[in-house]
């Protein structure tokens, strides 16, 4: 599996790097899609350890797919307070998936080590660890990354029409730490979530696998691109199968750690 990162190089600025063992081959440009295609010359080689990582791609848009796991469907049914709760069961079984725009031009998204945030008008917020697809020039997935679709469960539960407010706010998304090009797109990815407080006390831990997804990765990308000109380099988060217990909510100082073997660890602190 090939892996690429972005870092800020003194005197050069942001650069894409190709990971080679415990070192990074820094390229002469800052275009991850070009790097994936094999374009660019190596200008420096540096140890991987100690590099300050930027978001692995400056995604022009970030989209999300919802209710793609049975666990996500069940959580939405549990939180819903109105008769409209049936929409979650219906979309899980429907041909057409739920899709929504999470961010544009990285206005609400941070990279590895960045601060995620909570809404001031919500009392029940959770991280949603997800596999992210990086879309290429023709809209097909060309790489994967880790995403955190921070969400307000009480706002969405009050009314499904409030989903944009439950999902779209400052610091509501994180992506990283790298872009990985799978050798086998059919192989499932394990997703692990660990949340601790500011003192390091464990608040939640769980794991799932993309093998439990109702829909395929390329299927979701195809739906997202249908009559919808998503720019190359955009990211599609593919839904979550990990939801903390109902008595948990994100709070300032909590640390969210999402691990997907082969991609790495995305860790963010709540501001």
**CA gap 2, 13 in Å, rounded:** 23
Which one, of 249, 258, 73, lies nearest residue 148 by Cα? 258
* 68 vs 148, higher pLDDT: 148
Asked whether 248 and 203 are in contact (CB, 8 A), the reply is yes
Does any domain span residue 256?
yes
Question: What confidence score (pLDDT) does residue 123 get?
Answer: 97
Q: Taking 70 as the threshold, does the pLDDT of residue 73 lie above it?
A: no
pLDDT tens string 250-267: 999 999 999 999 999 999
> Are residue 37 and residue 155 in the same domain, yes or no?
no
Looking at residue 108, what DSSP letter applies?
Answer: S
* Residue 117, pLDDT score: 98
| Mean pLDDT computed over every residue of the chain | 94
Here the CATH number for the domain that contains residue 101 is 3.90.850.10
In a domain, 54, yes or no: no
Residues 183 and 228 in one domain: yes
State which residues form the domain around 120. 61-270
| Together in a domain, 209 and 84 | yes
> Residues 62-71: pLDDT tens digits?
999 998 998 6
Q: Are residues 129 and 13 in the same domain?
A: no
- The neighbour count for residue 84, using CB atoms within 10 Å, is 11
> Are 20 and 103 found together in one domain?
no
pLDDT band at residue 76 under the 50/70/90 scheme: low
Judgement on whether residues 41 and 65 belong to the same structural domain of the protein: no
Same-domain pairing of 17 and 121: no
As a dihedral over the C-alpha atoms of residue 203, residue 106, residue 113, residue 76, rounded to 10 degrees, the angle is 10
Domain count, the chain: 2
pLDDT band at 40 (very low <50, low <70, confident <90, very high): very high
pLDDT in tens, 173-226: 999 999 999 999 999 999 999 999 999 999 999 999 999 999 999 999 999 999
**What does the pLDDT read at residue 214?**
92
Q: Is the residue at 123 inside a domain? A: yes
Same domain, 98 and 172: yes
| Residues contacting 79, CB < 8 A, separation 6+ | 124, 153, 154, 156, 157, 246
Q: Does any domain span residue 55?
A: no
Determine, yes or no, domain membership for 107.
yes
CA atoms lying within 13 Å on the CB side of residue 24: 23
Kindly state the average pLDDT of the residues 121-125.
97
Determine, yes or no, domain membership for 216. yes
Percent of the chain with pLDDT over 90: 87
42 & 123 share domain: no
Residue 112: predicted pLDDT: 98
Tokens of 90: 């219906």
**One domain, residues 42 and 168:** no
The mean pLDDT value for 11-40 works out to 96
């Amino acid at each position: 599996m090939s892996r690429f990162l972005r870092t800020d190089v003194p005197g050069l600025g942001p650069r894409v790097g190709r990971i080679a063992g415990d070192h990074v081959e820094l390229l002469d440009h800052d275009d991850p899609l070009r790097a994936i295609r094999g374009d660019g010359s190596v200008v420096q080689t540096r140890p991987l350890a100690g590099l300050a990582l930027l978001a692995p791609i400056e995604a022009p848009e970030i989209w999300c797919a919802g209710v793609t796991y049975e666990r996500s469907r069940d959580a939405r049914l549990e939180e819903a307070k109105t008769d409209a709760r049936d929409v979650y069961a219906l979309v899980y079984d429907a041909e057409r998936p739920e899709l929504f725009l999470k961010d544009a031009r990285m206005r609400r998204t941070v990279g590895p080590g960045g601060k995620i945030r909570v809404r001031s008008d919500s009392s029940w917020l959770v991280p949603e660890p997800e596999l992210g697809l990086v879309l290429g020039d023709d809209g097909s997935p060309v790489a994967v990354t880790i995403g955190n679709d921070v969400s307000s469960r009480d706002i969405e539960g009050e009314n499904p029409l409030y989903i944009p407010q439950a999902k779209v706010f400052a610091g509501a998304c994180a992506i990283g730490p790298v872009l990985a090009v799978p050798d086998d797109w059919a192989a499932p990815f394990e997703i692990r979530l660990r949340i601790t407080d500011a003192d390091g006390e464990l608040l939640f831990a769980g794991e799932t696998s993309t093998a439990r997804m109702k829909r395929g990765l390329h299927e979701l990308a195809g739906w997202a691109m249908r009559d919808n000109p998503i720019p190359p380099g955009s990211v599609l988060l593919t839904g979550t199968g990990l939801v903390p217990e109902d008595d948990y909510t994100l709070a300032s100082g909590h640390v969210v750690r999402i691990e997907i073997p082969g991609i790495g660890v995305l860790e963010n602190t709540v501001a």
